[in-house]
Structure 1
Amino acid sequence: MLKVITVDDERAVKQGLRKIIELNCPGFTVVGEAEDGQEALELVDRCDPDVVITDIMMPVMSGLELISRIRQRSEAIELIVMSGYDDFKYAQEALRYGVRDYLLKPMNVEAVSKLLNGLRDSQLRRSADLERYRSCLWECTAIVERLADQLWQLDEAGKARSLAAIAERIGEARLTDGEQAQLHGDLAACLRRLIRERGLETQETTRPFEGGAEGLGRLAGFYADAIRSGRNWGQRSAIRAALAYIHERYPDPDLSLEEIVALTDVSPAYFYKMMKEETGRNFKTYLIEYRIAKARELLLGGDLKTYEIAERVGYPDYPHFAKLFKKYVGLSPSDFRKNMGNY
């Protein structure tokens, strides 16, 4: 329910408004009535309304001063002013304070119900739009996390798949041009943070983002070039062989660093150093993140029980798996499947 406060020094006006709202404006409830602006401010602090409908000319504190004070407290409260023909110019002045609209006295059912019902429908649309944006951001952020790993490993094919997946998901979300621009900016900021956490510092990490989907692709390409130029990728065959072995053997709960190092001709200390440089992760963290990524795919792509998925990605101890999953994903495995499976 949207909470309404009415403000007028005439009792009959407030009673008439309450009756109109209760009978003709579903989704609204009058939670308070005030005779002047000072009393109304106290109600605003106490009731946290969604809508304030106020007269212009009142004792103690005028409607104009009231809406100015409310705006200092909150940008979210919808403000509607009432006026007679004689003070119509003040109602127009009130529009400068972000007032939604004005009503002319005497109040009539059609004008009040049309304004409030339109406001309610607008609120519902904004709520639905916000939820659609958040769900798209959530999914695309997960793809960007994968993209950061692909960039660090210089996986060009994977990078292309991730960028295409982001573009496809945003297209499905039916976002406005402004929302798409904001989303791409948010994703670029996320990618910058993830790459910076892996140890790469460049001018690009602080440069303002521009360019939407194309800009995100350019940013990813810039990072790939910077990472490639900063290492002898391809010459460290031991690391590439180790990663391939991890990708094949990750379901084995006993997979260990010692087993991986035994496949190479380098010392454990040097292997650790190369692993961190190449992937941005040590062996333990890389293996956990790879297993969690595989678990996410299985949770969304089939009917396996969550404990069965845990076993398939190398965690026969389900409570341990669930704890790790929530730490890295932010949701339990069952909540992840339930929430993400709806999109």
Structure 2
Amino acid sequence: MKKIMLVDDEILIRENIRECIDWEKEGFLYCGDAPDGELALPIIEAQLPDILITDIKMPFMNGLELTSVVRQKFPQIKIIILSGHDDFQYAQQALRLGVEDYCLKPFSAADLLQLLRSVSARIDEELRIRHKYAYTPENLFADLCGGLISTAAAYEAAAQLELQLTAPYYAAAIFTLHPPNMEESPELPPASPDAEALLAGLLKEAADSFIYKRSRMEMVLIYKGSDPLRMNHTLDDLCAAAKKRLREGCGLELSVSRGKVCERLQGIHLSYLEAENDRMFKQMSRMHSAAMLEAYYDPSAHGVLLDRSRLVQFLKSGDHRQMTGFLLELSKELEQMNWDSGYACYLMNDITLELVQTAKNGFRAAAGHAGILQELQTQLKQISSSNDGLQYLKQLYERLWEWRSEGADKHRELIDRVKQYIREQYDKEQLSLNDISKVVRVSPSHLSKTFSQATGQTITEFLTATRMDRAKELLKSTGHKTFEIAYLVGYNDQHYFSNLFKKVTGMTPMEFRRQGNTGEQLHTIRRGAGHA
């Protein structure tokens, strides 16, 4: 999906564009917005949108200035200018700067979507020309698994290669050959042409599937179909037959790591990531146990789908004071899980991989902790109940927060000053990165980078979290109306505040106020955190 970013100083325009279009359904990903060009540049650098929509007249840095900078630094980004009739001469100047098109105000969501589709088609055409003669089947399948090719470009490449990609559902699986006693000899043996040929032949027999060789002992199967249940049954049969044939014919074992069945061609990437996480877990498990771990989904546990973004956000911005409430929320979900199933182990491992990877990407001190995943495997194997799971996650968060603290020590004084200033000024609607940088006397770009590396969250995320925490306090302890609370925490627009509050908490302000803290919830906190 093409990534879209918006820059406009009018909050109502930003809200309307953000909320009135079902971006994912239309084939786009809305990756952020900003009120002026100066604040937009760090977001553009971080997100690298495919299409940038920007107003012409804005404070601090106007649309023409922003266009000039973006064209020099990120020439691949396509730019659409928003302008009123009175600004048409500026729009003409923007076209000379190399923008793709302009959109006259006022405009409807349908007008904007039509323009975005047109620009998106131009991007796809450029990709098609660039990749016209570059793709082989293996390159195409590797790019699909890696999420490195758009849907349109993939279909174009497949047509040139005479491959039929179209299907309602897709999934990926990784097939890994290894000796029978992997614990005694963890090093992979030299590749066996006979074993590779046998495995390739078995996989090619699977209907509606494609394969590519990922490494000397690994092959990836991409399979498609119209019935997810039948697809899983077919793969079950294929895996059982392949394992038996390779064991009998070559004396090798076969490990299969699978991702879930997904809709849309881009779902291949998501399925592949799940399969890769599964493969990593099995590989690490073999270092500690002679038994092969088959961590497949347990149908009775399919209802447990934890919000990964919430888990990651708590890693970035949470602290010990919030741990009890956080464990309460998790306990309600984890208690539904069948802890005797392989799925429970798979889920906890998947959460661990995501949190550790987030910490390694965001916390500078994580560089010196390369062996943590192997260390955590022993603890993962001890989990047999929801309380064990909560205790494990509590310890994991505390461990990763140590990395966050270590990384922040170098800039502790600067970070503390920034946080203190935000806590004092959070109720000012126009509080910006530029304002904060002037107070602490460092450049906006350096401050933004330093704060993110030291804390694992952006300054905007910290400001929003501070405002939302204060809003929760006011909702619980006062009778103020929603628009009054919005104003008290720095938002002059009640609608914008309510939407943001629901995005952060999962509830509207009124739902949060009505929920309160019941005696049953407090009991659950004590019971769920009993081992913490």
TM-score normalised by the chain length of structure 1: 0.46
Q: Which has the higher helix share?
A: 1
Larger radius of gyration: 1
TM-score normalised by the chain length of structure 2: 0.31
